[in-house]
């Protein structure tokens, strides 16, 4: 599933074509994805101007001139692709319609935004913009890891009574929003912390060091266009490149990249997810 860097990469790719543009026609080609689309979705989107494109955790939010916000979740295999060349930035002609093109937005500037999702685990909804933060999917989210509300004191307080492994704690979207398996593995490696260590057993100084590490890992991944492992593509269809920089994720049995370490990367399963780490460098 795309994590924060992938979703932010898509948002940044969509913004030049979508922000300020009017949706001339919205084609909704099926009644649902992960859950049913909102009633009259075609009519509620058509004719609306996209005022702003933002992100909250792993959701893209398009604020519309109608006072509603289009919430988009990419799911496991969802892609948001731009075609056309409204601003001289996209060299992609409009492609032929594909089987899994479930929602298509035709913009007045000539761009086309296509939501393609073969596995249909993605989702879309329409929310009242003023109360969007109270939506059931957004109200439970913790602070954004790249925002000012994510800081040492917050993470230390969140971990002080957390008896679960630190890997699980960092995946808890109520503690920090948008982190997923890949980037937690990478952050814990840089922090020298075993994913199996209980969160409450990690010293305050070590917890504090995780804040800038998490920020750095996410920022580097966004700069690289995210990580393309299976389905992820940027809004222009290109691959992300951060997977070439992984220190531990997906590297089971390969040498640890820490100079003079000599160990190999191990894998354990935690809550049904693979955790990759170095048993020598991470304690």
Please identify every residue annotated as catalytic.
2-3, 58, 273
Tell me the whole-structure pTM to 2 decimals.
0.90
Question: Is residue 82 a contact partner of residue 238, using CB atoms and an 8 Å limit?
Answer: no
Q: What is the pLDDT of residue 190?
A: 97
Instruction: Decide if pLDDT at 271 tops 90.
Output: no
Please name the residue that has the structure tokens 């919205």: 26
Please name the residue that has the structure tokens 């040492």: 152
Strand partners, 115: 80, 103
Alpha helices in the chain (DSSP H): 4-18, 41-45, 152-159, 166-171, 181-191, 204-223
Reported as a single tens digit per residue, the pLDDT across 17-61 is: 999 999 999 999 999 999 999 999 999 999 999 999 999 999 999
* Residue 59 CB neighbour total at 10 angstroms: 23
Reported as a single tens digit per residue, the pLDDT across 97-127 is: 768 899 999 999 999 999 999 888 999 999 9
Please name which of 151, 142, 145, 125 lies closest in space to residue 62, comparing C-alpha atoms. Answer: 125
Specify the long-range contacts of residues 14-17, CB closer than 8 Å, at least 24 apart: 14/53, 14/60, 14/80, 14/82, 14/113, 14/235, 15/53, 16/87, 16/89, 17/82, 17/84, 17/86, 17/87, 17/89, 17/90, 17/107, 17/109, 17/111, 17/113
Q: What is the pLDDT of residue 239?
A: 46
Question: Is residue 221 a contact partner of residue 247, using CB atoms and an 8 Å limit?
Answer: no
Task: Report the alpha-carbon distance of residue 283 to residue 281 in Å, rounded.
Answer: 7
Q: Which domains does the chain have, with CATH numbers?
A: 4-134 (3.20.190.10), 152-278 (1.10.8.50)
Tokens representing 45 are: 């989107």
Please name the residue that has the structure tokens 């979740």: 73
């Amino acid at each position: 599933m795309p994590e924060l860097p992938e979703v932010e990469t898509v948002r940044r790719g969509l913004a030049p074509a979508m922000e300020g543009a009017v949706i001339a026609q919205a084609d909704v080609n099926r009644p649902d994805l992960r859950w049913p689309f909102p009633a009259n979705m075609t009519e509620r989107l058509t004719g609306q101007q996209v005022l702003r494109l933002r992100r909250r955790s792993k959701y893209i939010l398009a604020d519309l001139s109608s006072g509603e916000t289009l919430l988009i979740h990419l799911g496991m295999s969802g892609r948001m692709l731009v075609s056309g060349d409204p601003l001289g930035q996209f060299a992609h002609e409009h492609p032929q319609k594909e089987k899994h093109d479930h929602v298509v937005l035709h913009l007045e500037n000539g761009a086309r935004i296509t939501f393609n999702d073969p596995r249909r685990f993605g989702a879309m909804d329409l929310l009242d913009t003023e109360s969007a933060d109270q939506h059931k999917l957004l109200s439970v989210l913790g602070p954004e890891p790249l925002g000012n509300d994510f800081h040492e004191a917050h993470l230390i307080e969140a971990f002080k009574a957390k008896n679960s492994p630190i890997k699980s704690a960092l995946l808890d979207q109520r503690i920090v929003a948008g982190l997923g398996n890949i980037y937690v593995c990478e952050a814990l490696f840089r922090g020298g912390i075993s994913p199996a260590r209980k969160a409450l057993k990690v010293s305050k100084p070590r917890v504090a060091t995780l804040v800038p590490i998490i920020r750095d890992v996410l920022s580097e991944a966004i700069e690289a266009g995210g990580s393309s492992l299976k389905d992820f593509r940027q809004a222009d269809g290109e691959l992300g490149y951060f997977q070439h920089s992984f220190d531990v994720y997906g590297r089971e049995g390969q040498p640890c990249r820490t100079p003079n370490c000599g160990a190999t990367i191990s894998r354990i399963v935690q809550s049904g997810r693979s955790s990759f780490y170095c048993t020598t460098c991470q304690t």
